[in-house]
Structures are given as C-alpha cells and as structure tokens.
Amino acid sequence: MEALALQGGFSDASVEAALAFRAVMRAMARPGTVEHVAGAVPPAPLSAAAGVVMLTLCDPGTPVHLAGEADCAAVRDWITFHTGAPLVGRERAAFAVGTWPDLLPLEGYPMGLAEYPDRSATLIVELNVLEARGARLTGPGIAREVALSLPETVAFQANAARYPLGLDFVLTCGDRLAALPRTTRVEAN
C-alpha cells in the first residue's frame, strides 16, 4: 500500500464526520441545495466531496462499488484503509462512486425490496459542473421548485417512477455536493 493511502482522512473524525453528515443530510432533505464540505483529501480522480461522503458514511458494513476510472489502485487503497468497506460489483453495492457515464446503467444496482425499500444503493456521482441551473426539481424537501445542473433527466425520471423503490444520488463536484433522492420529480428545462 502506498503511503498516500494513509493520508487524506479526517483529522478529528467525530467532529468532521458530524459536520459532513449535516451537510449531506441538508442536501438529501432539500434536493437541489448545494452544500460545501471539507476534511478529506482523497487520491485522484475522487473529488474532495466524494471523499468526505465516503469517510462519513462508509465502513465495513457498506459494500462500495468503484465505477470506471474511480476503480484504481490509489482509490481502492485509500477507501480500504480509511473505511474498511469491502469493494464489490454494482449488484451488491450500498454505495457506488464514479462519473455519470461510468456509473450507468442504473439497472444493475440494488433498488431496494418492496418490504425494505431502504436496502438500495446510494450513488455518488462525480460531476464537472454543479450549479443551480438546468433541470427543474419538485417534490419533498422543495418548497416550490429549484433548478440543478443534472447530467440528464430521463434516467432520474425512470428512477423516480419506481418509488418507493429506487436509487438515491449524491452529486459531487470539487468540495461541493447536492443530493437527489428517489422522490424528486425531475423535468428538463
């Protein structure tokens, strides 16, 4: 294991994880809201925000799928060292991380069960742009409507149509993140 893998974790785990969780929770509760997070310096190609989310939520109990370019030795070592999460194929993933094209198609991930819709994957989608313009979002957590730069709309609409089953998304870009739970209704603008 490279020495690099040992670096870039939280320096004060209980406080940094608490702050990061609050940001992720606000994002998940208010789809489209962009939050800043800090504390993780993961190896490329992971964004700081994706690293923070994984340090905050992943552990030996959460199988992680690394999609496409994210599946490299540096990232594998870093996640193993800092979280202990087992690395798995998409069909077993509790979390998956990668760019939108690398994560597709969405059909392969656990969508939850009728009696346990919570047993579904959360996808951490690495984006080059994350801003409050583009697709129109409505639904729980949104007072009227908000706009968010999504990589596409059709896949998210198909995901929402499976409700209460479905995937939930954390969209990351640099040190910023937003979230898109399965309840959000997405329309192209």
Partner 1 sequence: MSDYNFAYLDEQTKRMIRRAILKALAIPGYQVPFASREMPMPYGWGTGGVQVSAACLTPGDTFKVIDQGADDTTNAVSIRKFFEKTAGVATTEETARASIIQTRHRIPEEPLTEDQILVYQVPIPEPLRFLEPSEVETRKMHSLEEYGLMHVKLYEDISQHGAIATAYAYPVKVEGRYVMDPSPIPKFDNPKLRMAAIQLFGAGREQRIYALPPYCEVVSLDFEDHPFEATRADHDCDLCGASDSYLDEVIMDDAGGRMFVCSDTDYCRSRRAAGHVGAQGAPYEEGRP
User: Which residues in this chain contact partner 1 in the complex, by CB under 8 A?
Assistant: 13-15, 17-19, 21-22, 24-26, 28-30, 56-59, 61-62, 94, 114-118, 120, 122, 140-143, 163-164, 168, 181-183
**What's the chain's Rg over C-alpha atoms?**
16
Q: Which residue, 28 or 103, is less far from partner 1 as judged by CB?
A: 28
User: Nearer to partner 1 by C-beta: 2 or 59?
Assistant: 59
Instruction: Give the DSSP H or E segment for 147.
Output: strand 146-148
Contact 62, 54 (CB under 8 A): no
Cβ closer to partner 1: 45 or 117?
Answer: 117
Nearer to partner 1, 21 or 81 (CB): 21
Go through the chain and tell me how many residues it has.
189
Q: How far is the CB of 104 from partner 1 (least distance, A)?
A: 20
Q: Give me the least distance between CB of 149 and partner 1, in Å please.
A: 21
